Amino acid sequence: MKRLVLLITVMCAVAMSAMAERVKIIMIPDHADAIYKVGEQVKMKVILTDCGLALNGATIDYEISEDLMPAHEKKTITLKGYETTIKVGTKKKPGFVRVRAKVKHAGKNYSAMSTVGFDPQKLTPYTEKPEDFDEFWAKNLEKLKKVDLRPKMELLADRCTEKVDVYHVSYGNIGGSRMYGVLTMPKKEGKYPAVLRLPGASVSPKGGDIKHAEQGVIVLELGIHGIPVNLEGSIYDDLSSGVLSNYQMKDIDDVNAYYYRRVYLGCVKGIDFLLSLPQCSGKVGTLGGSQGGALSLVTSRLDSRVKATAVYFPALCDQEAYMNNRAGGWPHVLKYEGNRTKEIINTVRYYDASNFARGLKAPVFYAFGYNDITCAPSSTYSTYNVIPAPKQLSIGADTGHWLHSEQVEAMWNWIIEELR
């Protein structure tokens, strides 16, 4: 059996290696941390390899842009050897500049990017905070308090392990709706901290977090669409391309009917659900990435019972930045002039994660990557900068809309320790 496992492991390693691209475009800024002062000139070394060996004489097409904004410089150069240096230039205001490079070799296209920051610690959100922002959400929370929890738990026996019980759960939310999720809980009798794990933008089933439940944490992996999260995958595909297509824009012209109103309040109700569990120690945290990162910030701001907040590359951050010639966050609503109506801008301001970040009190673990082309680093860093709570920053200079495994491990270790 051990020999079979070893053989399979080797075969998988070979298969993964075979999938790796042979040509590498290595881009290295001349500052080790990729951070510069405003006005400082940037140079970037570019090295080309083919199967680990020098790739000489290739032609490189590259473009330079400010974060996700249109390119302001495009050039083509032919290398004499296998490396060159690009003069990236500078920036007059805090923010990010990105270089994208492309090479065609042996009939195939290869690409890479590298992003540098200019005084990013000085970035602040452009998105305005309405004068009645706190009052608006306080009134909504009062309405939420009147909603009965009406929790339901169904044991998923086929998913349970020796150490963890797995449940499909639901609870009441505003407007007669329900929130659904998968709860994983240690079987051993005792009191445990709990984490509300919030989803990225998708319409999908949930599997549950057995790994961290085995480490002594109750985890509720939440869905946001008011539908069960244990159905056949094809159902979610149909919903995603049908009634839930582009859900992030639904009723965005009405601040009281916007899709995320029910979602934000449903996440807060999830804290009620976790604290209602007899096995919960009373210490609850939130964790999520992308859309889930925004929801983690929002839930923590709206519910003072949250004791720790883990966030990675949050969406819905500083969306008004696009109206000031700087990249904003997903879903990039205000990137398009047709969306810049008085009603939509008003709604964005009440739901933008940066305005929730300003009022955070629980400690925060915050991670993102400079090469993120979904949630622009200009938007995520500016949001981080206005967090008044104790905070810890984890940056991946080479990462995009993903984290290194070491960052994921550090994040979970941090939130578990905070909730002990």
Helix extents (H) in 277-341: 291-302
C-beta of residue 225 within 8 angstroms of C-beta of residue 206: no
- Residues designated as active site: 290, 372, 401
254 contacts: CB under 8 Å, gap ≥ 6: 343, 347
In the CATH scheme, what is the code of domain 22-119? 2.60.40.1930
What is the reported pLDDT for 176?
97
Alpha carbon of 154 to those of 151, 166, 184, 276: distances in Å?
10, 8, 12, 16
Question: What's the pLDDT score for residue 19?
Answer: 67
Position 28 scores a pLDDT of: 98
* Dihedral pair phi/psi, residue 34, rounded to 5°: 60, 25
What does CATH list as the number for 133-419? 3.40.50.1820
Region(s) of the chain under CATH 2.60.40.1930: 22-119
- Contact (CB, 8 A) for 259 and 247: yes
Computed on alpha carbons and rounded to an integer, the radius of gyration of the chain in Å comes to 23
**How many residues are given for the chain?**
420
Report the 10 Å Cβ neighbour count for 108: 10
Q: Token digits for 155? A: 């044991």
Instruction: Give span(s): CATH 3.40.50.1820, the chain.
Output: 133-419
Tokens of 17: 């290696």
Give the containing element (helix H, strand E) for 411.
helix 405-419
Please tell me the predicted confidence (pLDDT) of residue 17.
43
Instruction: State residue 20's pLDDT score.
Output: 83
Q: What is the pLDDT along the chain (420 residues), one digit of tens a residue?
A: 433 333 333 334 444 444 689 999 999 999 999 999 999 999 999 999 999 999 999 999 999 999 999 999 999 999 999 999 999 999 999 999 999 999 999 999 999 999 999 999 999 999 999 999 999 999 999 999 999 999 999 999 999 999 999 999 999 999 999 999 999 999 999 999 999 999 999 999 999 999 999 999 999 999 999 999 999 999 999 999 999 999 999 999 999 999 999 999 999 999 999 999 999 999 999 999 999 999 999 999 999 999 999 999 999 999 999 999 999 999 999 999 999 999 999 999 999 999 999 999 999 999 999 999 999 999 999 999 999 999 999 999 999 999 999 999 999 999 999 999
Which value, to the nearest 10 degrees, does the dihedral of the CA atoms of residues 45, 49, 54, 60 take?
Answer: -60
Nearest-angstrom CA–CA distance, 28 and 396: 14
User: Tokens 């400010």 label which residue?
Assistant: 66
